[in-house]
Amino acid sequence: MPQELEKVMEALLQAHVFPDHLTLQREAFRALLMLRPELRIEGAIALYRQGESSFARAAELCGLSQEELKHILAARGIFREVPPLEQEAFEQAAEVLRKAGAWRKISLYSRS
């Protein structure tokens, strides 16, 4: 880091504009992400690909809808792997929807 920037940082800390180095760094990083939102998208995608973030959380971090993030990933050749829903989980979800009156009758294998 250039010496001038270090002096400015120290001056801000001595003037109690920021309570400590960590707060100053976090604020600077937050400002950087506001100026360059593509970095927020890159970071969120990296966390998602590393398994550190769910798809929904990655979209939230980007400030995008899940559909928008899906398109960005597809354009990069990254496709979401969604595990198949197990029969028991499907039946439980269907029962919740039936009780809520959302669906009259749900069957995984037949149309009714």
Range of the domain at 103: 84-112
| pLDDT per position as a tens digit, 61-93 | 999 999 999 999 999 998 887 777 788 877 888
Residues 66, 22, single domain; the answer is: yes
Residues 20, 58, single domain; the answer is: yes
Contact at 8 Å (CB) between 47 and 39? Answer: no
Residues 25, 53, single domain; the answer is: yes
- What DSSP state is assigned to residue 110? S
Q: Count of domains in the chain?
A: 2
Give dist(CA 60, CA 96) in Å, integer: 26
CB neighbourhood size of 10 (10 A): 12
Stretches where the chain sits below pLDDT 70 are 1, 102-112
Residues 30, 56, single domain; the answer is: yes
The pTM score is 0.63
Helix (H/G/I), strand (E/B), else coil: 102: coil
pLDDT at 104: 56
